[in-house]
Amino acid sequence: MSQNDRTNQPDDQHLDAIVQDALNPNPANLDDEDIDRSKMARDPVCGNLVDKATATNTLPAPVNDPGEGTIYFDSPECKALYEEDPSKYGSNF
């Protein structure tokens, strides 16, 4: 490869970032309307996507507000943070 060809190629660090973005299961640029809500939910604390079928960290909808529905969390830590202060994450829980 000539020197001229190398200058037109992205550097390794840039390629690493491209590969990591492609492999990221929770891309920040994925809008909520792009999510299949019947299968996936967004953790209100960390923003990661959670598979509803395998989620183990959840909170049921409150009896007085069934419109909010089950809340899914990526980890026990996210669930604990949410339970400490739900209003911080936009909930009326």
pTM: predicted TM-score of the whole model, two decimal places: 0.62
**Nearest partner of 41 among 78, 84, 92, judged by Cα:** 78
| CA 3 – CA 41 distance, rounded (Å) | 48
| Total count of residues recorded for the chain | 93
Residue spans per domain, the chain: 3-89
> pLDDT 10s per residue in the chain (93 long)?
444 455 556 577 766 766 666 556 555 556 666 678 788 888 999 888 899 999 999 998 777 665 668 999 999 999 999 999 988 988 765
